[in-house]
């Protein structure tokens, strides 16, 4: 493990951090009502009487959300609790129409789990999951439309959330960042959450404390709320840990507190003391019976699970011969992994990986295009690699062909055919080019034979030029060596 120790003149400190992540469940309708979850519709459009907390309205559990939660639980290698229960978390706020949030408290749907994260020094670490429960999201408060009024958009009220709570297993900002990326990758693979932190469909709270290195005490922690990017979570941990160390070293104490992250200045700011926090008066939700899952249901969800990033990565390394690094990068995103697999099918997988991570991504970046809108299809990328491995074209020509593919979307065979770019491997033709060259460049031939072996590259270049780049460089090399003696 890459150690992350805060070293000062006075001593060495260790960071202790745990994360709570809220993931919006991908589902057609809200978790306790039939209203749509469509993002970006007009304000207060996707609102049922239940969502608006109208008198006499009752929640009914959306089975699709349960399905998604179980799927996610399985993706976290976690225990699926066959008995779980909903509770009410009572507090008043304008964006909470019922005056309580329906959540799970004592009996969450998912219990302990674990996922492995890869770190930059090549090691990996297991992060333990404490639990995951499902609950409803609040509405959205809009405070910047009027100087005196706040506005409420109920579209988000009642959208299903999964709250994932980790054990305090993080010892560095890097670990937390790697975990969030991994979690995002898993939920995206599963199709249970879109993982877009900037849009708020995945939100993170970090609990941070520090302690002298080597000690096993637990000091009061600061909870940094609603951080909305992986980078900011890492920054928040780094800043907050340093802040705490400074205070301790000044002889001050730290009280348990809630803070917020200021992403403009990269600092955390005090919000409230924990001891004044609300008493949520949790109690079992009497409008919903306990949620009982059968083995049959859980097994059905299990049977629908897709291959997750870790398994895919291992397979790519073992069966396709990719390096661990390449496999990790390719598998982080399911679409990329799927694209790669399609492109590599029947071709040299390692070469396909190189092309994908090199020229292909560079092309997408340059064109500012998403993978799904790529002008170069997976099949065509594979075909291009095939043309190289079968010596139909050489690497340099391939780059030109790829550039044409990126512009036209044409398949590489056709381009090579039409433009006459096929590599010349006919030794007779190449020999003739060499003979012509050696005859006209007697000076250089003499110099080379006199010991200026560096001139060899010049000879190769000239022959390639004469062949308009189509000569097989390997054949050129061999014949030149023979003829120059």
Partner 1 sequence: MSELVELTVSESLKKLRNKEISAVELTQAYINKMQDNAKYNAYVTLNEEKALEQAKEADKRYQNGTNRPLEGIALGIKDLFCTKGLRTTACSHIIDNFIPQYESTVTQNLLDDGAVFLGKLNLDEFAMGGSNETSYFGPVVNPWSKETKLVAGGSSGGSAAAVAAKMCAAATGTDTGGSIREPAAFCGVTGIKPTYGRCSRYGIIAFASSLDQAGPICKDVADCALLLNSMAGYDAKDSTSSKVEVPDFSAFLGKDIKGLKVGIPNEYRIDGMNEEIVTYWDKAAEILKNAGAEIVSISLPHTKYALPTYYVIAPAEASSNLSRYDGVRYGNRVDGNGLDELYTNSRTSGFGKEVKRRILIGTYVLSAGYYDAYYLKAQKVRQLIKNDFDKAFEKCDVILTPTSPIEPFAIGDKKMLENPINMYLNDVFTVSVNLAGLPAMSLPIGLSKNGLPLGMQLIGKPFDEGTVFKTAYQLERGANFVRM
Binding site for partner 1 (CB under 8 A): 49, 52-61, 88, 90, 92-94, 97-100, 150, 152, 279, 281-283, 286-289
Rounded Cα–Cα distance for residues 479 and 431 (Å): 7
Closer residue to partner 1 (CB): 76 or 152: 152
Whether 42 contacts 83, CB under 8 Å? no
Sign of CA dihedral 237, 195, 152, 94: negative
Rounded Cα–Cα distance for residues 56 and 74 (Å): 36
Q: How near is the Cβ of 204 to partner 1 at its closest, in Å?
A: 26
Closer residue to partner 1 (CB): 286 or 450: 286
DSSP 306: P
User: Which residues lie across from 24 on neighbouring strands?
Assistant: 161
DSSP state letters, 100-145 = EEEE--SS-SB--EEEEEE-TTS-EEEEEEEEEEEEEPP-EEE-SS
First to last CA, the chain: 55
Rounded Cα–Cα distance for residues 425 and 113 (Å): 58
* Helix %, strand %, coil % of the chain (to 5): 40, 20, 40
| Phi-psi sector, 18: left (phi>0), alpha (psi -120 to 50), beta | beta
Q: How near is the Cβ of 50 to partner 1 at its closest, in Å?
A: 9
Q: How near is the Cβ of 61 to partner 1 at its closest, in Å?
A: 7
Q: How near is the Cβ of 271 to partner 1 at its closest, in Å?
A: 17
Closer residue to partner 1 (CB): 1 or 58: 58
Closer residue to partner 1 (CB): 83 or 283: 283
Closer residue to partner 1 (CB): 104 or 244: 104
Q: Which residue has the tokens 């306990």?
A: 290
The residue among 107, 101, 102 whose CA lies nearest residue 80 is: 107
Rounded Cα–Cα distance for residues 390 and 383 (Å): 10
Q: How near is the Cβ of 69 to partner 1 at its closest, in Å?
A: 17
Rounded Cα–Cα distance for residues 304 and 301 (Å): 5
Closer residue to partner 1 (CB): 150 or 440: 150
Query: Angle at Cα 282 formed by Cα 280 and Cα 283, nearest 5°?
Result: 155
Q: What three-state secondary structure class fits 209?
A: strand
The residue among 288, 20, 287, 52 whose CA lies nearest residue 156 is: 52
Closer residue to partner 1 (CB): 289 or 461: 289
Closer residue to partner 1 (CB): 148 or 253: 148
Q: How near is the Cβ of 47 to partner 1 at its closest, in Å?
A: 10
Rounded Cα–Cα distance for residues 4 and 6 (Å): 7
Rounded Cα–Cα distance for residues 102 and 176 (Å): 28
Rounded Cα–Cα distance for residues 222 and 225 (Å): 9
Closer residue to partner 1 (CB): 1 or 94: 94
Q: How near is the Cβ of 109 to partner 1 at its closest, in Å?
A: 16
Whether 483 contacts 459, CB under 8 Å? no
Closer residue to partner 1 (CB): 283 or 325: 283
Q: How near is the Cβ of 374 to partner 1 at its closest, in Å?
A: 45
Q: How near is the Cβ of 262 to partner 1 at its closest, in Å?
A: 24
Q: How near is the Cβ of 91 to partner 1 at its closest, in Å?
A: 9
């Amino acid at each position: 493990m890459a150690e992350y120790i805060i070293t000062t003149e006075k001593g060495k400190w260790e960071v202790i951090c745990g994360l709570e992540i809220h993931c919006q469940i991908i589902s057609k309708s809200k978790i306790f009502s039939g209203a749509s979850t469509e993002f970006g519709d007009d304000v207060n459009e996707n609102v049922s009487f239940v969502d608006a907390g109208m008198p006499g309205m009752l929640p009914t559990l959306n089975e699709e959300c349960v399905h998604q939660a179980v799927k996610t639980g399985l993706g976290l290698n976690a225990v699926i609790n066959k008995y779980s229960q909903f509770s009410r978390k009572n507090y008043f706020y304008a964006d909470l129409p019922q005056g309580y949030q329906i959540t799970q408290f004592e009996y969450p749907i998912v219990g302990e789990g674990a996922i492995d994260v890869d770190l930059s020094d090549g090691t990996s670490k297991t992060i333990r999951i404490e639990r995951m429960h499902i609950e409803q999201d609040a509405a959205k408060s809009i405070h910047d439309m009027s100087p005196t009024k706040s506005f409420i958009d109920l579209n988000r009220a009642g959208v299903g959330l999964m709250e994932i709570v980790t054990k305090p297993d993080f010892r560095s900002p890097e670990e937390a960042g790697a975990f969030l990326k991994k979690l995002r990758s898993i939920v995206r693979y599963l199709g249970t959450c879109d993982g877009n932190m900037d849009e708020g469909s995945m939100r993170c709270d970090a609990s941070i404390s520090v302690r002298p290195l080597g000690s096993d005490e637990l000091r009061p922690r600061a909870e940094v709320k609603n951080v909305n990017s992986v980078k900011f979570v890492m920054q928040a941990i780094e800043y907050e840990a340093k802040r705490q160390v400074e205070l301790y070293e000044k002889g001050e104490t730290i009280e348990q507190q809630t803070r917020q992250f200021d992403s403009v200045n990269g600092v955390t700011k005090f919000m409230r003391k924990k001891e004044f926090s609300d008493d949520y008066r949790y109690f079992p939700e009497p409008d919903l019976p306990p949620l009982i899952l059968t083995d049959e249901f859980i097994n059905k969800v299990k049977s629908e699970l897709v291959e997750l990033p870790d398994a895919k990565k291992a397979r790519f390394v073992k069966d396709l011969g990719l390096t661990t690094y390449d496999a990790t990068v390719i598998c982080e995103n399911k679409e990329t992994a799927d694209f790669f697999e399609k492109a590599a099918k029947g071709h040299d997988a390692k070469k396909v990986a190189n092309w994908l991570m090199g020229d292909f991504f560079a092309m997408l970046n340059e064109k500012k295009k998403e993978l799904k809108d790529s002008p170069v299809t997976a099949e065509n990328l594979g075909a291009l690699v095939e043309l190289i491995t079968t010596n139909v074209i050489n690497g340099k020509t391939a780059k030109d062909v790829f550039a044409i593919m990126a512009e036209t979307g044409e398949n590489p065979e056709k381009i090579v055919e039409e433009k006459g770019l096929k590599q010349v491997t006919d030794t007779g033709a190449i020999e003739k080019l060499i003979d012509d060259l050696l005859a006209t460049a007697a000076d250089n031939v003499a110099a080379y034979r006199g010991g200026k072996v560096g001139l060899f590259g010049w000879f190769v270049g000239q022959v390639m030029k004469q062949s308009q780049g189509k000569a097989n460089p390997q054949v050129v090399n061999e014949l030149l060596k023979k003829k120059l003696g």
